[in-house]
Structure 1
Amino acid sequence: MQDNADPLVSEIAACRACADRFAATHTGHRPNPVVWFRSSARILIAGQAPGLRVHEIGRPFADASGDRLRAWLGMSPDQFYELSRVAVVPMAFCFPGYNAKGSDLPPPPQCARLWHDKVFETLPNIRLRILVGGYAQKFHLKLRGSVTETVRNWRDIGPDVFPLPHPSWRNTAWLRKNPWFGEEVLPALRARVKEAMGE
């Protein structure tokens, strides 16, 4: 039986809707959608957008942020990249580029408008949604609070949704200032990941 996400994966991978936008960035790069989902997935990881390394490699979270995220989840790389059980659907499938100061540009909202409804229609088996960073949290939860506030209130959001800060090295100071994240959130998250993975 063919996976009903297959045609959509190919369609997104061929998308060039933001070509002009990316050409005008400081990086002047071309679109390269990093598409990582199948209909059988049990866990949804909703993030921001691929970084430059992921853009070059073509695999989500294939960087230091991914190493930290996998440690938070208690997952090995083999588990994390198991397409039949884990879907990675960011707010934008392409690397948005850098501005003149070398800072990440935000994910283009056009990407979510074009693809998200179609993608989520093909993911009927999701048992756990992991929302990484503010962009994903605002989109999926329709909340306006800060990332810290949202993550601190994780118990009130529901057992099948975990908001997380971005695992970037830039948030190392945040992790030091908020020890409750490692003490309270991560053990519960890891237990829920194992349950959702069927382990």
Structure 2
Amino acid sequence: MDWHLQSLDVDFYSQPTIDLAKSLLGCILVKETKDGITSGFIVETEAYLGEYDQAAHSYRNRRTKRTEIMFDQPGMVYTYTMHTHCLVNVVSGKVNQPEAVLIRAVEPYRGIHIMLQRRPVKKFQNLTSGPGKLTKALGITMEDYGQSFLEPPLYIAKGKKPGKIAQGKRIGIDNSGEARDYPYRFWIPNNPFVSK
């Protein structure tokens, strides 16, 4: 484990999903692999409120092999594949209240040389400025599904609290009825690694 990074405890993940989505901003997402440790400051998140949120995979309590972990305790890892990209979410809400927070972007912190080997980019700000980009750079895969963020190899540590938080509509969910207009996306203003 990165010597000065300690994973956040379960109480942190037990807060309401919208609050968690904001609280994750500035925290450090860490992944340990055989290549070494990579990490980044979380700069963008999206909240998905389960049963009543048409944009959520667990809308109407849809329980499938893919969404099963969303019904577990908060602080679990929910990964899924979209357009060949692996996306990573933090399970939130109480047990059997399937909610989650998508980590949309991070600002590279440690292990940048490893990230650049995995994702060679011409513009550095493109390295982790999107949910599929950050997982490839950090080495987060579908094998992380169902694990806990409370301990390595994939965990979240306390970082630096942002001075301001911006809020707006989520991205890429046009076919989700009125849910497409919910202001459940949060980001650190003016950070170059925010996805859009």
Higher helix share: 1
Which has the bigger relative contact order, CA under 8 A and spacing at least 6?
2
The answer to whether TM tops 0.5 is no
TM-score under structure 1 normalisation?
A: 0.29
Higher strand share: 2
Give the structure with higher Rg (CA): 1
